Amino acid sequence: MSTTETDKTPSLKKPKKLRKAFTGIIFGVFEDDGPVARYSIVKLPKKLINKLVIHGISAVHCGDDMLGGLYGPLPLFERPNQRYLIYSFSVKASNTKDSRIAEHGRTCSIFLLLKDEQQRFILNNHKTVENIIAKFRKEHWEKELDISKDSVLVLLKKLNDSVKIVNIRVFSFGDAGFIEFADPHTILDDGIITIIDLKSHKANIYLSKDRHDSKKRITALEKLEDLNLREFGSQLKIVKMRDYVRFKKLVDKHCINLVK
């Protein structure tokens, strides 16, 4: 059972900035003598970066049977709170003495680092991420000499500008059941609304006695507690709000648009 507390008037703050989807990027290549990290824009020890590139490229490049496309999120070795995506492809090689690489191209792998708690958002945007990389590669990286650290940074910025990580999740309990709004910033003002603040780990549920009977309020709270157990391991603090003014301040704080 989750911990509950009585509601307090939330302080008015500026809306939180959207978090970046990816915390860093590594560009690995299969050199003539094996996999190496050519460019790395990430806060990780060099030893771990090299280990990631060797294992990652080896996993998706087995002889001539390279697995194309985007894979992950995958666990980042001894970093349980971090994950990565990997996207591999080949480009026309330069300065190679390996006849196979000269014929088939240089294998390259992009590693995108992310926090564990952002997996859900990344999975929802998996195809978008894959399409952005594929388009960028086609337009900018025809051959190995086209690839630079600056262009890798441009790709990372493009991905972070396109994939938004929100700080909240919003649910409503009504005739259709306990549902989540795809866009948490535009919601239908109907049913019993729950706003989950992912940063503060609080689930704020508006239990208006004027709008909903006791049976519906109890059921909505049970649904929220079940969600808390299943998805958050009962780590959310459930805040029961009954005053509309306080609830509206929370709505405004998170820039939520209530639609009738």
Contacts of 93 (CB under 8 A, 6+ apart): 101, 102, 105, 106, 143, 144
Q: How many CB atoms lie within 10 A of CB 222?
A: 12
pLDDT at 247 over 80: yes
Check whether domain 4-17+167-259 has CATH 3.30.160, yes or no: no
Query: Which residue spans of the chain are classified as CATH 3.30.450?
Result: 19-165
Strands 106-115 and 79-91: antiparallel
- Three-state DSSP string of the chain: CCCEEECCCCCCCCCCCCEECCCEEEEEEEECCEEEEEEEECCCCHHHHHHHHHHHHHHHEECCEECCEEEEEEEECCEEEEEEEEEEEEEECCCCCCHHHHHHCEEEEEEEEEEHHHHHHHHHCHHHHHHHHHHHHHHHCCEHHHCCHHHHHHHHHHHHHHCEECCEEEEEEECCEEEECCCCCEEECCCEEEEEECCCCEEEEECCCCCCCHHHHHHHHHHHHHHHHHHHCCCCEEEEECCHHHHHHHHHHCCCEEEC
> Which CATH class name applies to 19-165?
alpha beta
Query: What pLDDT score does 246 carry?
Result: 92
- Least trusted range by pLDDT, from 63-72, 74-83, 114-123, 235-244: 63-72
pLDDT at 41 over 80: yes
State the amino acid at position 55 in one-letter form: H
State the amino acid at position 9 in one-letter form: T
- Taking residues 71-80, report their average pLDDT: 86
- Taking residues 65-70, report their average pLDDT: 70
* Per-residue pLDDT tens over the stretch 113-165: 998 878 877 887 889 999 999 999 999 998 999 999 999 999 999 999 888 77
pLDDT band at 63 (very low <50, low <70, confident <90, very high): low
* Per-residue pLDDT tens over the stretch 193-239: 999 998 888 999 999 998 899 999 999 999 999 999 988 889 899 99
Crossing angle (nearest 10°) for helices 126-140 and 149-162:
150
pLDDT band at 12 (very low <50, low <70, confident <90, very high): very low
Cβ atoms of 104 and 92 within 8 Å: the answer is no
Q: What is the mean pLDDT of the chain?
A: 85
State the Cα–Cα distance between residues 112 and 21, nearest whole angstrom: 9
- Taking residues 104-110, report their average pLDDT: 89
State the Cα–Cα distance between residues 20 and 10, nearest whole angstrom: 25
Which residue, 27, 50, 48, is CA-closest to 38?
Answer: 27
Give the rounded percent of residues in the chain with a pLDDT score beyond 90. Answer: 48
- Taking residues 183-187, report their average pLDDT: 85
Query: Which residue spans of the chain are classified as CATH 3.40.20?
Result: 4-17+167-259
pLDDT at 108 over 80: yes
